[in-house]
Amino acid sequence: MSTIDVSVVICVYTEDRWEDILAAVASVRAQTHPALETLLVVDHNPTLSDRLESEYKETDEVRVLPNAGPRGLSAGRNTGIAASRGEVVAFLDDDAVAERDWLRRFADPYSDPRVLAVGGRAVPVWSSGRRPDWFPEEFDWVVGCSYRGLPPGRVRVRNVLGGNASFRRTAFDFVGGFATGIGRDGGKRPMGGEETDLCIRLSRARPDAILLMDDRAVIHHKVPEAREHFGYFRTRTYAEGLSKALVARSVGADKGLESERRYATRVLPAGVVRGLRDQLLARPGGARRAAAIVAGVLTAAGGYLVGSMRARRAGVTFAVVPIPVDQVGRAV
C-alpha cells in the first residue's frame, strides 16, 4: 500500500446539502487508504460553518474552515490547499460519495515523481432513479460526471475533472492555485473550467509533468431532480461555452480547446448517429438524444461566441488570489 499522505478538501456552501455533505465526509472516513485529514471549506456561510463545527467538534481528522478568499469555488479550493498538510491534495464534490478504494487509486501513481495530478470517474446518481431517456451520455459533464468519449483505464490527459481530482502539493508551487474569474463564484449561472485552466498552466510550467485519469477512482455524484430537465441542460451547456471562452482567453485557444475539438468532431457526431440508429430500432429516446446533442453543441457554441466577445470588450484578466497560510491555520 502507498504511504503517501492525502488531504481531502470538500468545498461547501449551502445547508440545503446538509445530508449530502455528511455522506461525502463519511465516505472519506471509510477509505481503505485513510485520509490524513478532511477539510470542509465553507464559502461565506457562517451559519453552515457553525453547524459543521458542532457536528465534527469531537472528530480530529475533520476540520471546518471559512473560505479565506473571495466567494467562489476557486478561492475555496485555494483555502483548502493552504490549510492542508498532505503530500497530495484531493478534491471531492459536496454532493458526491467516494468508493472505498478511491484514495488508494489516487495515491498509487504518485510513486512516480513526474505525476502531478490524478483524476477519477464520476458516476451519476439520478434523483428519479434512472437516466432520462433523452439525456445523452456524451453530455454527462452537464451534471458533473464523466461522459462518453473519455478514454478508459489509467491514461494521460490534458486535464482532470475538478469534482474528483487530486494534485501533488508541489504542483501548486508551480502555478499558485486555481484562478478566480473562472468557474463557479456563487452566481446563478453554472460556470466551470477552473480545473482545465489550472492543468494547462501546470503542463506549461512543467512540460515533463504527467497528468492521469484513472477510471477506477470512482465517486457517485448526485443529480438533483432539477438538473434532469432540458431547461438545465440548455443553461449548463450555454454556461460551458462562456467558461471555455474564459479558459481560451487565459491559456490560449490552441490548448484551451484542444480536447474539445476531438470531442466535437468525433464523439458527438458518433452520438448523433447512435441516437438515430436507436430510433430506427425503436429504442426509447433515440431521436431525442440525437436532438439534445445537436442542441447542446449549438448552445455551447453560442455561449463561446458571446463569452469571447465579452472577454475581449471588457479586457478580462485572471489571477490566483494568494491565501495567507497563517490565515487558515495550517499546521506546521
Listed in sequence order, the residues at least 6 apart from 173 whose beta carbon sits closer than 8 Å to its beta carbon are none
pLDDT of residue 331: 37
Pairing, β 6-12 against β 37-42: parallel
3-state secondary structure of 154: strand
Closest CA to 90 of 72, 104, 111, 70: 104
pLDDT of residue 188: 55
Q: Which three cell numbers stand for residue 134?
A: 433523452
pLDDT of residue 29: 98
d(CA 235, CA 244): 14
| Predicted structure pTM score | 0.92
pLDDT of residue 319: 66
Helices (H), 30-72: 46-55
- Cβ neighbours of 269 (radius 10 Å): 12
How distant is the alpha carbon of residue 263 from its chain centre? 18
DSSP designation for 148:
B
Beta carbons of 80 and 127 less than 8 angstroms apart: no
Task: Give all strands (DSSP E) within 4-87, no chain letters.
Answer: 6-12, 37-42, 62-66
pLDDT of residue 332: 34
d(CA 305, CA 202): 26
Cα–Cα distances in Å, from 261 out to 57, 150, 255, 266, 269? 48, 13, 10, 8, 12
- The per-residue pLDDT string of the chain (332 residues; one tens digit each, 9 = 90 and over) reads 578 999 999 999 999 999 999 999 999 999 999 999 999 999 999 999 999 999 999 999 999 999 999 898 999 999 999 999 999 999 999 999 999 999 999 999 999 999 999 999 999 999 999 999 999 999 999 999 999 999 999 999 999 998 999 999 999 999 999 988 776 665 556 667 889 889 999 999 999 999 999 999 999 999 999 999 999 999 999 999 998 888 887 777 676 577 888 899 999 999 999 999 999 999 999 999 999 999 999 999 999 999 999 888 877 666 676 676 665 554 33
Closest CA to 313 of 252, 257, 245, 244: 245
3-state secondary structure of 133: coil
